[in-house]
């Protein structure tokens, strides 16, 4: 079952995992050490992130290193960009309104 990207990034541990592997690829054991949790617990988080295609595994001998899937993150960022402009416009309008109110009170 493919996971929803929003469900995947809603968890603070999964966001922290994404932040870590954005810097360097890590094995599940290395991730478990960083979070003081079991490898099994980390594996559950990895499974969700992998199903969303946010991370990619790379086999190196007997180890599996997980990398950030920058392409998928870029797709997500492009989708968010359409909202970013709208938010910025609304924040600018709010800022202008607050400035006007402040000037009227002086």
Tens of pLDDT, residue by residue over 26-50, are: 999 999 999 888 899 999 999 999 9
Predicted TM-score of the model (pTM): 0.75
At 52, which CATH number? 1.10.10.10
Regarding whether 45 and 81 lie in a shared domain, the answer is no
Judge if 81 and 35 occupy the same domain.
Answer: no
The separation between CA 32 and the C-alpha centre of its own chain, rounded to angstroms, equals 18
Distance in angstroms (rounded) separating the CA atoms of residues 18 and 66: 10
Residues in the chain: 106
Q: How many domains does the chain have?
A: 2
Which pLDDT tens digit goes with each residue over 3-21? 788 889 999 999 999 999 9
What is the domain range of residue 16?
Answer: 1-68
Q: Are residues 53 and 6 in the same domain?
A: yes
Nearest to 46 by CA among 74, 78, 69: 69
Query: DSSP assignment of 43-96, as one string?
Result: HHHHHHHHHTTSEEEEEETTEEEEEE-HHHHHHHHHHHHHHHHHHHHHHHHHHH
Residues 40 and 83 reside in one and the same domain: no
Position 1 pLDDT exceeds 60: no
Examine the domain organization and report whether 76 and 63 are in the same domain.
no
Q: In this predicted structure, what is the pLDDT of residue 73?
A: 87
């Amino acid at each position: 079952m493919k996971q929803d990207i929003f469900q995947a990034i809603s968890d603070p541990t999964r966001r922290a995992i994404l932040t870590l592997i954005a810097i360097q690829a890590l094995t599940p054991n290395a991730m478990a050490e960083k979070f003081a949790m079991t490898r099994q617990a980390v594996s559950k988080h990895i499974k969700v992130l992998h199903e969303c295609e946010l991370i990619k595994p790379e086999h190196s001998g007997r180890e599996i290193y997980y990398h950030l899937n920058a392409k998928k993150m870029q797709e997500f960022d492009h989708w968010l960009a359409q909202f970013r402009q709208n938010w910025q416009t609304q924040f600018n309008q709010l800022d202008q309104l607050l400035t006007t109110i402040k000037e009227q009170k002086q």
